[in-house]
Each structure stands twice: as structure tokens, then as C-alpha cells.
Amino acid sequence: MNQPFKFCPRCGASSFQQQARNLLSCSNCGFHFYRNPAVAVAAIIVDSESKILLIRRAKDPAKGKLALPGGFVDFDETAESALHREISEELGLALQSIAYLTSQPNQYLYREVTYPVLDLFFVCRPVATETSLMRTEVESVCWLAPDEIDLREIAFDSMREALRCYFAR
């Protein structure tokens, strides 16, 4: 894991060092910072023909790769609320049902910092399948049958594992 901080956020000293995998501490003022995972949600959206909605990412990381739609959970937001918000923002879709599937750890490289993330995956049914894309996030969408999905084209290891879990059900 790369260290995102060079200076202590409390006292500004350059004595901020990694003590354990998720612990940074300052030998000058004693401040401890626990670097825990961010939480993200993603949807395996399934239509009435059992096809799965995949997006093509419009930006890095993994620009141009296929992915499940979703995003980060905001402060004071439940995972379910975040999922509804992200799917509405990115795709203009409303979800009629969501069911928890699995969680997977992930590493998210953004602006030269690797963030630890815990991805929560849900199986969802949309109210309708017509999308309205947020082009800054999503280049395109496709609906694929499970046997049409090439896991090598999926953007993140966590998403590949979640799809494997879904296929094994």
C-alpha cells in the first residue's frame, strides 16, 4: 500500500510514518491515523430475460473496461441508499428490488494513491430497462447473457469475483 501522507495532519511534522498496514502515526505529536477501507456499492442489474447490465467506464481507473454500475457510499448514507442514488445518477434507472449478494475487497488507484475499498454487491431488478447515461461516468451500456460475459474484460478483480458468485447461485 502506498502512503498517501508525508506530513502529520495534526502538527505538520514530517515524522508521519507507517506503523502497521493500516496505521500511520506521528512521532512528534503522537497522532494516530487508521487507514481503513472506503465503502462502495455495485449492482448486478438483471432484466426479465436474465441479461445483466454492464457499463463501459468513461474514466480511469480502468477507462474503457466493462464494469458493474455503482460508486462510493457517502457520509450518513446506507449502502442501499447509495446504490439507488448511484444507479439513478449514472444510468437514470430506478430499482424495484435489491438483494445483497457478497462483499469483496478492492484496490482503487486514483491520482497515484491506492485506496483500500470494500465493495458491496447487490442483485437488482430495474423498474424499466431504458437508460439515460451520465456520459462523464459511463461511456455506454450493454445487456449481456451470463454466458456472453468475458470476465477478462471486467474492470476490477472484486467485480469478477462478485460475478462468479452470482453465476454460481
pLDDT tens digit sequence for 94-140? 999 999 999 999 998 888 888 899 999 999 999 999 888 767 788 99
Residue with cell 424495484: 96
Residue 3 grid cell? 502512503
Domain containing residue 12:
1-35
Residue 30 and residue 4: Cα distance in Å, rounded?
A: 18
Mean pLDDT score, 46-58: 96
Residue 51 sits in the same domain as residue 15: no
Residue 149 sits in the same domain as residue 113: yes
pLDDT tier for residue 19 given thresholds of 50, 70 and 90 = confident
pLDDT at position 60? 83
Mean pLDDT score, 64-89: 96
Residue 37 and residue 132: Cα distance in Å, rounded?
A: 31
Residue 42 sits in the same domain as residue 107: yes
Residue 9 sits in the same domain as residue 88: no
pLDDT at position 133? 77
Residue 17 sits in the same domain as residue 45: no
pLDDT at position 3? 61
How much is the pTM?
Answer: 0.89
Residue 47 sits in the same domain as residue 28: no
Mean pLDDT of the chain: 92
CB-based contact 79:41 (threshold 8 Å): yes
Residue 13 sits in the same domain as residue 59: no
Residue 26 sits in the same domain as residue 45: no
Residue 96 sits in the same domain as residue 142: yes
Residue 91 and residue 133: Cα distance in Å, rounded?
A: 5
CATH number of the structural domain spanning residue 73: 3.90.79.10
Residue 54 sits in the same domain as residue 29: no
Q: Determine the Cα angle at 56 with ends 54 and 62, to 5°.
A: 115
Residue 98 sits in the same domain as residue 163: yes
Pairwise pLDDT comparison (4 vs 144), residue with the higher score: 144
Please provide the DSSP assignment of 103-162 as one string.
EEEEEEEETTEEEEEEEEEEEEEES-------TTTEEEEEEE-GGG--GGGBS-HHHHHH
Residue 99 sits in the same domain as residue 123: yes
* Mean pLDDT lowest among 26-30, 52-56, 69-73, 130-134: 130-134
Share of the chain above pLDDT 70, in %: 97
Number of structural domains the chain divides into? 2
